Structure 1
Amino acid sequence: MAEASTAPTLALKIAITLGILADAAIVVLLIAISGFVFGGPEGARGEASAVAGWGISLAVCVLSPLLGLVMWRRGRRDLALAMAWLPPLAILVGAVVAR
């Protein structure tokens, strides 16, 4: 019986780790395209809505997994998993809707 209870915990740890890695990849992508959003490396000279959208996207990709880890420590593993996978799933939904 003890082995059955540790298997889902390991699977949840792997799932949340993959979600956090996906969030980190999105953050790297957002920073890589920031020059296109801001109109160059000099500063925020891009369109205001594009800069605001980029900033909010970056904040969600950073804060969502961090708050998910807080929920994990408090025992809310279901909520932590959802928070870690929120940004990648939102991008997938956006890509499907945009088509």
Structure 2
Amino acid sequence: MSVSEAQPPAPLALKLAIALGLVINAGLAALLIGISGFVFGGPEGARGEASAVLGWGSTLAICLLSPALGLWMWRRNRRDLALAMMWLPPLAFLVGVVAVF
């Protein structure tokens, strides 16, 4: 897409979906940080088994990087990819919760 071919403005529903996904990702990251001390034994949170700490850290990184890259895609007019990247961590969390119960 060239510079002269501008996309029409995004609908309000799409903007709200992106904003809600961003808020949910922030809450998910806060939840992961908040309960890490209970899971790994202490406020520093790295006393657990190495594979568990690595999995926990990569999950936190995905919760932070996916929305950031989603916003970057939004600025590049890739709205479909931005929406998918924004909602991937919350949907994966829901699948994980359903699989556990």
Distance 1:70 1:31, change over 3 A: same
TM-score w.r.t. structure 2 length? 0.85
Question: CA offsets per residue over residues 59-83 of structure 1, 9 Å max, x none?
Answer: 0000000000000011100110010
**Residue number in structure 1 paired with 2:43:** 41
% of aligned pairs identical?
69
Instruction: Give how far 1:36 is off.
Output: 2.1
Aligned to 1:27: 29
Q: Flag the 1:10–1:46 CA change in 2: closer, same or farther, 3 A.
A: same
Three-state SS of the structure 1 residue aligned to 2:46 is coil
Distance 1:43 1:31 in 2: 9
When the two structures are aligned, how many residues end up with a matched partner? Answer: 94
Unaligned runs of 5+ in 1: none
Which 4+ runs in 1 deviate beyond 3 A? none
**Aligned to 1:74, which of 73, 76, 82?**
76
Of 41, 59, 62 in structure 2, the residue corresponding to residue 57 of structure 1 is 59
- Counterpart of 1:10? 12
1:84 alignment partner in structure 2: 86
Deviations 1:73-99 (A, max 9, x none): 111001100100001000111112223
Structure (1/2) with the larger helix percentage:
1
Change (3 A) 1:93 1:67: same
